[in-house]
Amino acid sequence: MNSDEHERVAQELESLIRDTQATIERAEIHGLDQTSPKDFQALLDIVDSAVKQQREHTQAMLD
């Protein structure tokens, strides 16, 4: 991948992170973190994975 491709992927991951964080906030408001802990954990896992991937692409872009 070239620098521009890494940047595009990092931006797409940023969008995914923001959208998933918004979903997490809504889930917490409605108590789904308590009633559906597995689904809530899956959302947290998505954010964690996306942040790690974004970091990798950002680092590759800077190298």
Q: What angle do CA 58, 43, 59 make, to 5 degrees?
A: 10
Q: How many CB atoms lie within 10 A of CB 1?
A: 11
pLDDT at position 62 is 86
Write down the pTM of the prediction.
0.90
- For 20-62, what is each residue's pLDDT tens digit? 999 999 999 999 999 999 999 999 999 999 999 999 999 998 8
pLDDT at position 8 is 95
